């Protein structure tokens, strides 16, 4: 074997990214029962595995005056039904080598089971049992509540958790999005079995729920399972949320959650962002990726590579059914706290005021387009995209056109959505750290409130 030495490699420059490979979002089947319950099938017979996901369209947004209610209700689904105890559920799914999990986001309550095709009947029976027949045993409620309270106590020692809680409260105020979705000590202590039963009965109905089958199963087989268990399920039809979006604030706040002796601070900067089903979302997503959504983003390069203020910084649009939060997050040393905030402000203004370069646009679009095929490698990943389409009422061809739509985004689109959805004059700036070390340095950005871990004001500068 011989090697050419006429054109030596220049290892000081990274290789240019190639063109994204071609990929097509798979077609999937949709079925509907007379009671309004829908189901979807992502068929893939490569491996003898089937995953089934149950999704109810209402999540932590509906916790009301009991933050964490949806989260605890979801956890309790696997803790006992009319037919099985918590131990029996765990042993039965373990015996067939399967997995069972539940979770709640702001917009949905979900349960998933994954089993070998040979044990599909067992997996499906367990899933439908925890959805249709939960009993919320008092003994399990006491145990789960005790565990949740202990977890919150531990989290309150972490600066990142304290910053997150106070940041959301600062951005959303009394709106449900301003509450911790995992709950508070006060709300967890107040919850009763009646609350869990009511939440589940109200929000888990055939009209507001659907199933997604993914893997070694075809639509005809899926229909047989659904018709046996869910076709006769009765309950209300789905009605859109009556909860309104949080009001956007004209001016943000600067808060420090005091952690005496801390040598660095958890920093959160942002305001209300965008809804997931907004027509602008994809453009805003590309814009945010360039700003702070991947390693080569402006914020990370500025804070980490240029100034060495932190190991990493990022920005996100947590887009939900209603407009969620736009957030810049990082951990930073005390001695460069104000400098870090200043650089973040510079980047937020820059993306509003100047057009991205051609090289930046090419890099970020190729990155996102190239990442997409990796996110569709398994039927479970495809099912996750189907859930997003159905949960947020996106067009059926949303992911089929996804990469083409990304490649169509222009520099002017980036600037336009930045001006529309990023507002440096409305930022809430929240830190969890030593107020003694950092409070004075932040006064140049505005009035600074110092709070204790519970959110009570200690002082104001």
pLDDT tens, position by position, 416-432? 999 999 999 999 999 99
Taken in order of first residue, the domains within the chain and their CATH numbers are 29-229 (3.30.830.10), 254-460 (3.30.830.10)
Helix, strand or coil, per DSSP, at residue 414: helix
Query: Residue with structure tokens 């989290």?
Result: 155
Q: Across the beta sheet with 99-104, what order do the strands follow?
A: 29-32, 38-43, 209-215, 49-56, 109-116, 99-104
pLDDT tens, position by position, 16-40? 655 556 678 999 999 999 998 999 9
Quick one: CA dihedral 305, 309, 314, 315, positive or negative?
negative
Per-residue pLDDT at 248 = 81
Instruction: Give the CA distances from residue 24 to residues 66, 276, 321, 355, in Å, rounded to whole numbers and listed in that order.
Output: 43, 22, 27, 31
Q: What is the DSSP string of 186-198?
A: HHHHH--HHHHHH
pLDDT for 12 beyond 90? no
Instruction: Give the CA distances from residue 150 to residues 92, 146, 176, 274, in Å, rounded to whole numbers and listed in that order.
Output: 29, 6, 23, 34
- Nearest CA among 324, 126, 105 for reference residue 225: 126
Element (H, E) at 333: strand 325-333
CA dihedral 179, 184, 186, 192 (to 10 degrees): 90
Helix, strand or coil, per DSSP, at residue 291: helix
Per-residue pLDDT at 86 = 97
Instruction: Give the CA distances from residue 193 to residues 58, 71, 81, 137, 198, in Å, rounded to whole numbers and listed in that order.
Output: 19, 14, 14, 8, 9
Global confidence as pTM: 0.91
Instruction: State the average pLDDT over residues 275-282.
Output: 97
Instruction: For Cα atoms 82, 84, 89, give the angle at the middle one, nearest 5 degrees.
Output: 140
Query: Residue with structure tokens 């980047």?
Result: 347
Query: How buried is residue 137: exposed, middle or buried, by Cβ count under 10 Å (0-12/13-18/19+)?
Result: middle
pLDDT tens, position by position, 190-200? 999 999 999 99
* Residue 327 neighbours by CB distance under 10 Å: 22
């Amino acid at each position: 074997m011989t090697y050419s030495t006429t054109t030596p490699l220049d290892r000081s420059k990274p290789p240019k990214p190639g063109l994204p490979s071609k990929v097509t979002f798979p077609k999937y089947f949709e079925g509907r029962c007379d009671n309004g319950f829908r189901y979807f099938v992502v068929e893939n017979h490569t491996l003898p595995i089937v995953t089934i996901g149950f999704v109810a369209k209402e999540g932590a947004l509906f916790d009301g005056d009991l933050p964490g209610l949806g989260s605890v209700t979801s956890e309790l689904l696997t803790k006992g039904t009319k037919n099985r105890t918590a131990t029996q559920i765990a042993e039965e799914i373990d015996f067939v080598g399967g997995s069972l999990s539940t979770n709640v986001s702001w917009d949905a309550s979900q349960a998933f089971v994954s089993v070998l095709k040979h044990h599909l009947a067992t997996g499906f029976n367990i899933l439908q049992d925890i959805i249709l027949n939960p009993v919320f045993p008092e003994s399990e409620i006491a145990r789960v509540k005790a565990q949740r309270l202990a977890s919150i106590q531990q989290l309150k020692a972490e600066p990142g958790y304290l910053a997150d809680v106070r940041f959301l409260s600062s951005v959303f105020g009394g709106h449900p999005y301003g509450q911790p979705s995992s709950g508070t000590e006060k709300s967890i202590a107040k919850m009763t079995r009646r609350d869990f039963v009511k939440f589940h009965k109200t929000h888990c109905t055939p009209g507001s729920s659907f199933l997604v089958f993914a893997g070694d199963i075809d639509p005809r087989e899926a229909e047989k399972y659904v018709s046996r268990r869910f076709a006769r399920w009765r309950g209300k039809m789905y009605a859109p949320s009556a909860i309104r979006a949080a009001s956007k604030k004209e001016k943000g706040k600067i808060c420090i959650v005091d952690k005496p002796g801390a040598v660095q601070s958890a920093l959160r900067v942002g305001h209300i962002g965008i809804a997931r089903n907004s027509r602008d979302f994809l453009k805003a997503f590309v814009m945010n990726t360039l700003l702070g959504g991947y390693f080569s983003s402006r914020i990370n390069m500025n804070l980490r590579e240029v100034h060495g203020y932190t190991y990493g910084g990022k920005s996100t649009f947590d887009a939900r059914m209603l407009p969620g939060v736009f957030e810049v997050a990082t951990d930073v040393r005390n001695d460069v706290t104000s400098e870090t905030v200043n650089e973040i402000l510079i980047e937020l203004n820059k993306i509003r005021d100047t057009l991205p370069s051609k090289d930046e646009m090419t890099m970020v679009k190729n990155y996102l387009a190239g990442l997409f095929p990796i996110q569709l490698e398994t039927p479970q990943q495809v099912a996750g995209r189907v859930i997003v389409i159905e949960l947020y009422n996106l067009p059926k061809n949303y992911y089929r056109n996804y990469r083409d739509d990304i490649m169509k985004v222009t520099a002017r689109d980036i600037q336009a959505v930045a001006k529309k959805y990023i507002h440096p004059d409305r930022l809430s700036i929240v830190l969890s750290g030593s107020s003694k070390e950092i409070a004075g340095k932040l006064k140049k950005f505005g009035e600074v409130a110092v709070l204790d871990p519970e959110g009570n004001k200690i002082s104001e500068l």
